[in-house]
Amino acid sequence: MAAVSVCIVGAGVCGLSTALLLAESKSIPYKVTIIADQFSPKTTSNAAAAVVAPFILGPETPIQLQRRWIKQTMDWLGSLYKTTDATTIGVILQHLYFCYDKMQQDSYWKDWLLSYRKLTPKEKEMAFADDSIIDGWCCSTFTLDTDKYMHWLTNKLKNLNCRFIQKKLRDLSEVSSYDIVVNCSGIGANRLVPDPSVVPVRGQAIRVKAPWVQHCCIYINEKAISYILPRATTVLLGGTAQAGNWSKSIDPNDSKRIFEDCCKIIPSLKNAETVEEIVDLRPSRPSVRLEIETRRTGHKDMKIVHNYGHGGSGISLHWGCALDSFKLVEKLAEDIRVSCKL
């Protein structure tokens, strides 16, 4: 059988992960092309906080799917973490504090991570200078140095002879010549599908040099979300969660608020050197869309697998969603193979 041509629209973590599964498929041969207007390091995935835990995820996404997708992603990252290449790939196992200014019930996803327990009074007293922190949890989970991970995925795909084309599509019909299209366009789905239920949740952050900071902290209160996330060479300080804001320009007021709030938690961050400021748009939707669509384009039925709408949980769900996308592509490819025999 001739190779099935598949176009992946979007070069974020979900698109590249799906492409990798297809490129390494042993059952059906695929000719994989990735088309996007931006590639790493300029994707939304590169700017992500990249903590494996549900975050700014559409409330209509079924709990059982969230659980399965996160478990599959944790299993995948765990397998990479246990290799000698873990540092090159960018997989990090970290302790993470979720902090709040009010008492909290246990999270519905507490059993999905490697460990989970209440923040002790001693931890609250010794680890954080901000007296407004009242309650919290300590978790163990995987985080990603997204620049490293995206670079690793890209190199694997190039070594597997996948094509990369930089192009801004105006409509999905532009790729109707491919046997199958996998739509991982993220925020672009608002325009490309078009799907008006996809809206931006703007995130801004600062990368600083602060090698003395060793633990992760996410502080959620009524006014803002603050996070301090160590990476291999920098610490990511954030953030914002501005629904409906399409601006990708750095807002100095946001930067000032982010830095001041993070310094309230760990005052020594005042001595940190700023490396860069970043901003991007989380592709929010009431629920993740992961399904097949058949769309009439000209004289052809276009076969599309949609995989978008992950909000701030793209990293957390990426491998599980890629596995489901792969299965849907396999189903469509099998239909193509059967029709070719008739």
Measured CA to CA, the distance from residue 195 to residue 213 in angstroms comes to: 41
Q: Measured between alpha carbons, how far is residue 22 from residues 36, 187, 250 in Å?
A: 18, 23, 37
Q: Which residues, in sequence order, are CB contacts of 191 under 8 Å at separation 6+? A: none
Structure tokens at 170: 């105006």
Does 247 carry a binding-site annotation?
A: no
Does 136 carry a binding-site annotation?
A: no
Does 68 carry a binding-site annotation?
A: no
Does 226 carry a binding-site annotation?
A: no
Structure tokens at 228: 């301090």
Q: Which residues, in sequence order, are CB contacts of 79 under 8 Å at separation 6+? A: none
- DSSP 8-state class, residue 105: P
Does 90 carry a binding-site annotation?
A: no
With beta carbons less than 8 A apart as the criterion, state whether 209 and 275 touch.
Answer: yes
> Which sign, positive or negative, has the C-alpha torsion 317, 318, 319, 325?
positive
The strand pairing partners of 6, in sequence order, are 32, 180
Structure tokens at 124: 């609250």
Binding residues: 44-45, 227, 282, 312
Binding positions for D-dopa:
227, 282, 312
- Binding-site residue ranges for FAD: 44-45
